[in-house]
Chains A and B, each alone.
Chain A
Amino acid sequence: MEKSWYSIFKTFFKVGTLLLGGGYVILPLLTSELVEKKKWITSEELCEYYALGASLPGIIAVNTAIFTGRKLLGTVGAFAATVGMVLPAFLAIVLLAAILSEIIANSYIQHIFWGVGIGVIVLLFLAVKEMWKKSVTDKFSMLVYGVCLLLALWGKIPLAVIIIGALFAGVFWQKIKDRRGGIK
């Protein structure tokens, strides 16, 4: 499919509409739409955008959309992706704002909400599996994964610090490898 601003907008609008559960499932949704169906980007690229998106300030899903849109069609693409992704959220809230408290109190909605929460966990698990295949490839990346997971679960360190720490660890590891190579 051709990458016009409109097709990008449409694709992200769909992803934005399906983005239930607060934004966590952005990765599986984008994988399904952009990597598998449209084949616009590779799974590796998407993983990179997600990781970068998580390490910069702002909303992760939005950051990931901007990175991806930029890759597809420069600034126009970034704009189309962002608007497409945010518009469903915007419209839903504007339409529902007036009856917000009634909705929350409705027991049927609560049941659906409970069920969707489980669906979100499944999607997250699938996203982790996919990302694991692309990122944890050797002993060093396994170590980075383990340390970051423990720190994130501990919850005392800001996530951005963990991610930036990993970035520096990667650079440092490359330096060590270079030095070893130099001795040989």
Chain B
Amino acid sequence: MLYLKLFLQFFHVGVFSFGGGYATLPFLYDIAEKYHWYSAKQLTDMLALSSITPGPVGVNVATFAGYTTSGILGALIATTSIILPSFIIVTIVSKALDKFRTNKYVKAGISALKSAGCALLSAVGIKLLFTSNLHLFGTILLIALLIMSFIKKRDPLFYLGVSAVAGLVIGSLNWIGV
């Protein structure tokens, strides 16, 4: 019964969370209140952890909730059920798109969609910029990395690696007071 409940709850999150990542949050807090599979505090911890573990937040939280309630099988069920709706919906949409791709109205719509996608990504970046505690050294690190990116195109891993090491060094020397 628990497995079925896990499946239904996370399938529900997969169907109704528009906007990705943090859009799943209200649903996940709701589940915490209703089922006590994990506490709200654990969910908040999970969010912090998901920025240093691989993968999207939604997947991380689903895996965690499933695991704490009923072990590895629970983790598997919760993770699968949050993704399953995406799989079905994307399959339908891309089939429909392939059919109508040459239509000029569809083309115009998709082209506007791309601008909107770019705008949403910009908004995420701006919000992150204002919500992260950059301090002086963080700002310097940010600017240094940006300048490096202008000089030469580099692998994303480079930026993540450099910023992780810089964070460790700056933080350990207690320059930023975290």
Contact = CB atoms under 8 A, between A and B. Distances in A.
Given A47-B117, A103-B49, A149-B122, A82 B132 contact: no
Contacts of B54: 16-20, 88-89, 92
A136 to B, nearest CB: 6
A115 B120 contact: no
Contacts of A119: 145, 159-164
Given A109-B52, A115-B166, A135 B86 contact: no
Contact of A117 (B89, B115, B128): B128
Contacts of B23: 158-159
Contacts of A51: 110, 113-114, 116-118
Interface residues of B, number: 100
Given A119-B159, A135-B115, A70 B94 contact: yes
B118 A158 contact: no
Contacts of B59: 59, 62, 86, 89-90
Contacts of B82: 58-59
Nearest to B17: A57
Contacts of A25: 156
A127 B79 CA distance: 27
Contacts of A163: 113, 116-117, 120
A56 B93 contact: yes
A75 B91 contact: yes
A100 B48 CA distance: 10
Interface in A131-150: 131-132, 134-136, 140-142, 144-149
B165 interface: yes
Interface string A97-116: 10011011001111111111
A60 interface: yes
A59 B49 contact: no
Contacts of A11: none
Interface string A36-61: 00000000000110111111111111
B113 A32 contact: no
Contacts of B76: 90
A123 interface: yes
Contacts of B110: 48, 51-52, 167, 170
A106 to B, nearest CB: 10
Given A59-B17, A159-B19, 5 more contacts: A55-B113, A94-B63, A108-B171, A127-B121, A144-B116
Interface of B: 14-24, 42, 45-60, 63-64, 67-68, 72, 75-76, 79, 82-83, 85-87, 89-91, 93-94, 97, 104-129, 132-134, 138, 141-142, 145-146, 149, 155-157, 159-168, 170-172, 176, 178
Please list the 10 inter-chain residue pairs (A to B) with the smallest Cβ-Cβ separation, ordered nearest first.
A115-B167, A89-B55, A111-B171, A170-B112, A51-B117, A119-B163, A60-B20, A23-B56, A160-B18, A166-B116
12 contacts: A18-B157, A19-B54, A20-B53, A89-B54, A94-B72, A112-B167, A118-B141, A120-B128, A122-B149, A135-B115, A152-B120, A170-B109
